[in-house]
Amino acid sequence: MKLSIVSGLKESESNQEQILKKFASLCDFLKPLSYDGIELSLLEPEKVDVKKINEIKKSYEMEIPALGTGGTFIRFGYSLGHHEDIMRKKAVERIEKYIEFARETQSKVIIGLIRGRYNFESSSKKEKLNIISSLKECCRLAEKNDVILLFESINQFEIDSYNTISESVGLLEEIGSDHLKLLVDSFHTYLEEDPLYIWEYMRDNINYVAHLHLADDNRRAPGTGHFDFRSFLNIFKESGYTGFASIETIMKPSFEDVAKEASEYLRTIL
C-alpha cells in the first residue's frame, strides 16, 4: 500500500513558475518522509503545465494518485446534482478538464463534493436522478480517456446524497462502468457506518475500492484520535490492495507537522 497526502497548488492565483516551484518543494519535502505521492486538490487544472509537472514528479519518483474536484462546487457552485441544467453542464465540463489532466499524469479523478447539495427548488429524489445522469456522462468521458473516477461516500453533515458505502456501491452497480470505482474515507466511515458490520461489509465489497482517504475521528492526523486504523487498513492489506492511502485532514498545526506525524504513525501499520 502506498502513502500520499492532499495538497493544493494555488494555480488560480499563481503564475506558472510559482505553481511548479510549489509542486517541486512538496516533492522535496515529502519524499524523505516515505511518501509515494501527492494527491492534488485543484480548482483549474488547465492552468497547470502538465508536462512540467510530469517531469518534476518523475525526477522525484513520485506519483499523483488522484485529483480533488471539490473546489469546483465550493468556489463556483457547479454540481452534478444541481436543479439547473446549465449548472450541471458546467460541472461536467469542469470534470472533463480534470480528466484531461489525469490522463496525462496517470491519476484518478474524485467525485465528492462536486455532486452538490439539493436546493429547496428541487428534492433529494430529483437530485439523485440528476447525479446519476451527470455521472453517466462523466463516465463516458472517463472511458474515452481511460481514466478512473473515484466516487466518495461523504457524511450527511456535508452532503445530502450517497452518505454510506452501501449506497455508493448501489450507485456503482446501477451505472455499471469499469471506470467508476469507490473511494473510502476513514472519517466519513466513522461518522456514517455501523461499527458492528462495516468491516465485514468492506471485505465483501473490496473489489470496488480504488483509493483511500485517511483522517482520524477528529479529522486531524491519523493517530491523534480514536479511529481503529489498524483494523481499517488490515482489511485492505489482507485483500492485496496495492493502491494509495491518502492523508486528507485539517492541516493543523501545519501541513508539515501533519505530514511528519501521519507518516511516522502509519508506516507502523502499512
Q: Going from the N-terminus, what domains does the chain have, and what CATH number goes with each?
A: 2-266 (3.20.20.150)
Task: Please list, in sequence order, all residues whose beta carbon lies within 8 angstroms of the beta carbon of residue 102, skipping any fewer than 6 positions away.
Answer: 67, 108, 109, 145, 147
The four Cα atoms 170, 171, 175, 177 give a dihedral, to 10 degrees, of: -80
Provide the total of helices (H) and of strands (E) in the chain, helices listed first. 10, 8
Output the CA angle 51-56-61, nearest 5 degrees: 120
| pTM of the predicted model as reported, rounded to 2 decimal places | 0.97
| Residue 57 near residue 63, CB atoms below 8 Å | yes
How buried is 165 (Cβ within 10 angstroms: 0-12 exposed, 13-18 middle, 19+ buried)? buried
For residue range 77-121, what is the model confidence (pLDDT) as tens digits? 999 999 999 999 999 999 999 999 999 999 999 999 999 987 777
Query: Which amino acid is present at 191?
Result: L
Helix (H) or strand (E) holding 29: helix 16-30
| Residue 39 near residue 68, CB atoms below 8 Å | yes
Per-residue pLDDT of the chain (270 residues), as tens digits, is: 999 999 999 999 999 999 999 999 999 999 999 999 999 999 999 999 999 999 999 999 999 999 999 999 999 999 999 999 999 999 999 999 999 999 999 999 999 999 998 777 778 888 999 999 999 999 999 999 999 999 999 999 999 999 999 999 999 999 999 999 999 999 999 999 998 889 999 999 999 999 999 999 999 999 999 999 999 999 999 999 999 999 999 999 999 999 999 999 998 888
Distance from C-alpha of 95 to C-alpha of 164, rounded to nearest angstrom: 23
Q: Which of 196, 247, 197 lies closest to 224, judged by CA?
A: 247
